[in-house]
Amino acid sequence: MIRVLVVDDSAVIRKILSNELSRYDDIKVIGTAIDPYVARDKIVRLHPDVVTLDIEMPRMDGLSFLAKLMKYHPVPVVIVSSLAPRNSETALKALELGAIDVVAKPGSVYSAPDISRLVNAIRAAASAKLPKQTVQTSRYPVKIDLPREIQTTHKVIAIGASTGGTKAIEVVLKDFPRSAPGTVIVQHMPEYFTASFAQRLNRICQIEVREARDGDSVVPGVALIAPGGKHMVLKRSGAKYLVRVKDGPPVHYQKPSVEVLFQSVAMNAGRNAIGVLLTGMGADGAKGLLAMRQSGAYTIAQDEESCVVFGMPKEAIKLGAADEILPLQNITRRIFEVLLNNQS
C-alpha cells in the first residue's frame, strides 16, 4: 500500500485528489495539508511514502518547501501543478530540486482531469531512487571531433525517457557537439511543459534544442522534443528526414509515446539510427527499441544503478532490445564512438 499525503491550498483539489486516489486498491491517502507548514508536521508524524505537492501556496511556495524537504527529510514528491505556460518553468525547477515527476492539476482550465497519470506517477515515485542533492553539471563539453563524413551522413539519434528523464536527457545532451546528428526525443511530460523543458536545455547545450513542430527537418546540431499531448514520428522525404507531430490515442498510456517514435525510426532510418532508452516506469519504448535493433540500428539502455526508475530499460533488456547497457554518464561518449566506428 502506497501512503500518500496531499498538499494543496485548494480545498476543492484536496477533496478531488483524496476521493479519486482512494479508488485505487494500492493507494491510501493518509492526510492532506493546506500549506507547507502543516505538511511539514504531517510528514514527520505520518511518514508518507509519497507527497503530492502544489507549487503556488500561501506562507511558503512549493519550491522553497521542496528544497528544504529534500535537504532535511527526503521523501518522494510528485508535483501537481496547474497546466499553464507560466507554471511550467517553475515545475521544471522542482524536478531539478528532486521532485520525481510533474502532473497537470486535475480540473485546471487548461486540462481535463488526468488521475490515471497521477496514479502512475505516484506508483513510480514510490519505487524511485531519490536523487542525490543537485550537483551542477559541467558546462565544459567532452571534446569529440567528428570527421566530415559523420557531419554529412544522414544519421539520426532517437532518445526516450519518462520518470527521472528530464535530468537524464540533460546529462546525455549537454556534451553533444554542434555537429551532432539530428536528434529526436520523447520525454513523458504534459502540454506546455515540453516547450519550457526544451528552452531550458537549449540554454545549457551546445546544440539547438526546441519543441518539435509538424514538418520540422531533422538536421545536424538540432534536437527536437515531442510536444506534450502529441505523438511524434520520423518520416523520410527523399534523402532527408523530418518529423510529423500528430494526435492519436495514448500508447502505453502515454502521449507522446516513445514506442510510436522508435517504431517510426526503425521503419524509416534503420541502420542509420542510434536508439537510447533512459529511466522511466512501464514498458513504453521497449518493443520499439527492439524493432530499431532488428532494423540495424545500434541500441543502448540505461543501467539499473543510474536509473531513477528501472522500468522501461528493464523491459527492453528483457526483450534483448539493447546492444549495450550503460551507466548514464557513459552514454554520450558511446554514442559518438559508435558513430565514428560505423561511418557509411
Sign of CA dihedral 241, 243, 244, 248: positive
Asked about 216 being catalytic, the answer comes back as no
Question: How many H-runs (helices) and E-runs (strands) does the chain carry?
Answer: 12, 14
Asked about 82 being catalytic, the answer comes back as no
Strand 2-7 relative to strand 50-53, pairing: parallel
The helix-helix angle for 85-97 and 193-204 (nearest 10°) equals 60
Residue 80 CA to residue 249 CA, distance in Å, equals 23
Could you give the angle at the alpha carbon of 125 between the alpha carbons of 57 and 120, nearest 5°? 95
Contact status, residue 239 vs residue 154, Cβ threshold 8 Å:
yes
C-alpha cell at 209: 534544442
Q: Which of these is catalytic: 81, 82, 88, 162? A: 162
Sheet containing strand 298-302, edge to edge, reads 208-211, 222-225, 182-187, 156-161, 273-277, 298-302, 324-326
Q: Which of these is catalytic: 81, 188, 196, 295? A: 188
Residue 205 CA to residue 192 CA, distance in Å, equals 20
Q: Which of these is catalytic: 284, 295, 303, 306? A: 284
Residue 10 CA to residue 16 CA, distance in Å, equals 10
Residue 212 CA to residue 284 CA, distance in Å, equals 20
Contact status, residue 78 vs residue 118, Cβ threshold 8 Å:
yes
- Ramachandran region, residue 253 (left: φ > 0; alpha: ψ -120 to 50; beta: rest): left
Asked about 284 being catalytic, the answer comes back as yes
Contact status, residue 113 vs residue 136, Cβ threshold 8 Å:
no
Catalytic residues: 162, 188, 284
